Amino acid sequence: MSTPGMNTKPALPNFDVEALRRDFPILAREINGKPLVFLDSAASAQKPRVVLESLRKTYEEEYANVHRGVYWLSATATKNYENVRKKLKTFFNAKDEREFVFTKGTTEGINLVAQSWGRAFLKAGDEVLITGLEHHSNIVPWQMLRDQIGIKLVVAPIDRNGNLIWEAFEKLLSAKTKLVAVAQVSNALGTILPIQDIVRAGHAVGAKVLIDAAQGAPHMRTDLQALDADFYAFSGHKLYGPTGTGALWGKKELLDAMPPWQGGGDMIKSVSFEKTDYADVPAKFEAGTPNIADVIAMGAAIDYLSALPWDAIEAHEADVLAYGTSLLKAIPGLRLIGEADHKAGVMSFVLEGVHPHDIGTILDQDGVSVRAGNHCAEPVMEFFGVPGTARASLGMYSTRAEMDALAAAIRKVQEIFA
């Protein structure tokens, strides 16, 4: 951003956010005659040029279906596609690249665990423990499983700031708890959950632990071996990769023991009318033609992210979040929803007397793109007694200047509704 009068001072001497922004072509465009201020990365992040270039290269030069061709193009596409698992293994420090099952996003990953692991290994009365700040995609799959096999869904409460109430969470853990499924970061509130402690506490009662990393993976590096969770689901499109991508990571011995959840081509060793032998993981869970070019481009996003200084990026994002939060808190009549002790990437707010959709629409006139609504977290909205919020969410390319633009645009909304 180079709008005159804005605070464009880079937050950190060793991180040049303006240089990083130049890697994202869309950030240079205008909306309604104003520089784009993109504050909806929690819904889906923008893509660096290397991702777009990867898509072009696959389709123009290296495209064919994977896994079944004996010809060069198919072998090349297969190699490029399978290589992405190696990239994920390194990026997340997993033990084995076969532990990554490609999905179209976090939602599909969680549904896979519910329908495959859940149906095979849970029984009526077993408890799945989630928290009060979960996204619908970490609620509904468990309700569906409850209706199918009679598990019990237990919800650990959050406090008025959006923190998980640890003592209450611990009390809800028991020998009946077979799975703990929690967000790494809340999309509606920005709360960072203490997932390392949650993994330890879950394992201590013999439960498996699933992390919904849709919002966590884009904001912090996670070492899967150190974390020692059992499942970790994330969305490639929130991690600066293409839409329709993501992965479910699971411990190999769990994935090996789980039945497939969709049947078809590519997930079998042999088929007759009497019997089918399934392929080994991860193919067992990837029935049908996969999202070839997009997965390969997710690999380009991982390469891109792997080359970045993550400590500096995390510090930069924290700085922009703190700066933006201080600006919003200074606006009379604005209520921040979610003021947890540890937060990443999200500022949800309501304005007295203004519907969140009106906020979103008016901000857009100034080129400021925010999301308005319940953010697929209706129970969170109910807890805070609001129908929805306006939500500004950050990516690594977000700047202090954009926070200035956001605050200025919110003040304009207030003038209109004054």
398 contributes a contact to ligand PMP by CB under 6 A: no
Scanning 28-36, 78-86, 212-220, 280-288 for contacts with ligand PMP by CB under 6 A, the matching segment is 212-220
Interface of this chain with ligand PMP, residues 350 to 369, rule: CB under 6 A: none
Q: CA angle, 17 as apex, 11 and 21 as ends, to 5°?
A: 155
Count of residues touching ligand PMP (by CB under 6 A): 15
Q: Evaluate whether 284 touches 260 at the Cβ level (below 8 Å).
A: yes
Active-site annotation holder among 43, 318, 331, 376: 376
Interface of this chain with ligand PMP, residues 236 to 295, rule: CB under 6 A: none
Distances (CA, A) of 417 to 304, 355, 365, 408: 43, 10, 15, 15
Among 35, 48, 105, 218, binds ligand PMP (CB under 6 A): 105
Residue 274: what residue type? E
183 contributes a contact to ligand PMP by CB under 6 A: yes
207 contributes a contact to ligand PMP by CB under 6 A: no
Place of tokens 């067992």: 284
Please state, in angstroms and rounded to a whole number, the distance separating the CA atoms of residues 171 and 188.
25
140 contributes a contact to ligand PMP by CB under 6 A: no
214 contributes a contact to ligand PMP by CB under 6 A: yes
Strand 368-369 relative to strand 34-35, pairing:
unpaired
106 contributes a contact to ligand PMP by CB under 6 A: yes
Interface of this chain with ligand PMP, residues 13 to 72, rule: CB under 6 A: 42-43
Among 99, 127, 212, 366, binds ligand PMP (CB under 6 A): 212
414 contributes a contact to ligand PMP by CB under 6 A: no
191 contributes a contact to ligand PMP by CB under 6 A: no
Q: How far is the CB of 72 from ligand PMP (least distance, A)?
A: 34
Q: Evaluate whether 350 touches 344 at the Cβ level (below 8 Å).
A: no
Among 21, 85, 135, 219, binds ligand PMP (CB under 6 A): 135
Q: In this complex, which beta carbon is closest to ligand PMP, that of residue 135 or of residue 219?
A: 135
87 contributes a contact to ligand PMP by CB under 6 A: no
Among 215, 291, 374, 398, binds ligand PMP (CB under 6 A): 215
Q: How far is the CB of 21 from ligand PMP (least distance, A)?
A: 23
Q: How far is the CB of 346 from ligand PMP (least distance, A)?
A: 9
Is 102 noted as a catalytic residue in this protein?
no
Scanning 207-215, 248-256, 289-297, 387-395 for contacts with ligand PMP by CB under 6 A, the matching segment is 207-215
Q: In this complex, which beta carbon is closest to ligand PMP, that of residue 44 or of residue 78?
A: 44
Scanning 30-38, 134-142, 172-180, 197-205 for contacts with ligand PMP by CB under 6 A, the matching segment is 134-142
Among 268, 376, 386, 408, binds ligand PMP (CB under 6 A): 376
- The token pair that represents 180 in the structure block: 């703990």
Q: How far is the CB of 22 from ligand PMP (least distance, A)?
A: 27
187 contributes a contact to ligand PMP by CB under 6 A: yes
* Catalytic residue list: 376
Residues that bind ligand PMP (CB under 6 A): 42-43, 105-107, 135, 137-138, 183, 187, 212, 214-215, 235, 376
